Amino acid sequence: MSGFHNGHDIVSYVALGDSFTEGLSDPHPDGGFRGWADRFAEHLADQGREVRYANLAVRGKLLRQILADQLPRAVELAPDLVTICAGGNDLIRPGADPDVLAEIFEDGIGQLRATGADVIIFTGFDIGFQPVMRHLRGRIATYNMHLRGIADAHGCQVVDLWSMKIFQDRQAWDWDRLHLSTEGHRRLALKVCAAVGAEAGEDWNEPWPGAEPMHWRAARQDDLHWAREFLVPWIHRRLTGRSSGDGLGPKRPNLERLGQRPG
């Protein structure tokens, strides 16, 4: 990752993706969302660099939408570093083909690497611990193998979320079971720091505090609450062709110094 070892005092960083990168379920004091990408940029700034940072991610976006709407802007901004996590919203839809998605993804990676930017790719999580989503595990694993091949072919760094066992604990997730909790986002930012050789001073893999095991009745009630409050509305949006990100723009569309209000 040349951008972090070339002695430059200014680092420019652009984050691409969906709700995972936008930072949902990690509230910011200003009323928006913070998330692992914001936290990662802050860690870079803590090392004495002037960091210019843009976050183009928008919740609910599919892979093609990310490449059509966000990638051209990232190319225009010409940053030192790009992180991209895309395809997750596609994979949870019926009939999604990870082989086709990987072909589309690789075209986007080629465009990003052609700018000279370092690129970090994220695999999908191992969701085998979530009973309702477990049937998608094979599809995600297939996509992950493609992503590793793409990273090797284009000289990209990979953050392997699949192998991070700490994310198989419910403390890592918000109540909707699809978005990381605040602590999950914090730990992921530390992992990305480790991937680029940036010292963060904390261990992303520190064991979770002991949690009281949930009684089966409470677990059943929790499942019913989740299905009523999240799963049913999510299915309804998909059936009607709507997205949680419809009408929303990126929270940080320009490369701006950390501490500046987004334009």
CA distance 260 to 263: 9
In this prediction, residue 18 carries a pLDDT of 97
Q: What are phi and psi of 41, to 5 degrees?
A: -60, -40
Could you give the angle at which helices 98-113 and 137-154 cross, rounded to 10 degrees? Answer: 30
Q: pLDDT digits over 10-51, tens only?
A: 799 999 999 999 999 999 988 899 999 999 999 999 988 899
The low-confidence residues of the chain, meaning pLDDT below 50, are: 2-3, 5-7, 214-216
CA distance 25 to 23: 6
- Cβ pair 55, 258 in contact under 8 A: no
The total number of residues shown for the chain amounts to 263
Strands 50-55 and 252-257: antiparallel
Q: How many CB atoms lie within 10 A of CB 118?
A: 20
Q: How many CB atoms lie within 10 A of CB 91?
A: 17
Token couple for 207: 């064991």
**Alpha helices in the chain, H assignment, sequence order:** 19-22, 35-46, 63-65, 71-77, 88-91, 98-113, 137-154, 182-196, 216-226, 232-239
In this prediction, residue 178 carries a pLDDT of 81
In this prediction, residue 211 carries a pLDDT of 57
In this prediction, residue 5 carries a pLDDT of 45
In this prediction, residue 175 carries a pLDDT of 78
Residue 246, C-beta contacts closer than 8 angstroms, at least 6 positions apart: 60
User: Within its chain, how far is the Cα of 72 from the centroid?
Assistant: 19
Q: pLDDT digits over 213-223, tens only?
A: 544 455 566 66
In this prediction, residue 66 carries a pLDDT of 98
Which domains, and CATH codes, for the chain? 2-206+250-257 (3.40.50.1110)
User: Within its chain, how far is the Cα of 172 from the centroid?
Assistant: 14
In this prediction, residue 185 carries a pLDDT of 98
Residue 144, C-beta contacts closer than 8 angstroms, at least 6 positions apart: 123, 124, 160, 162
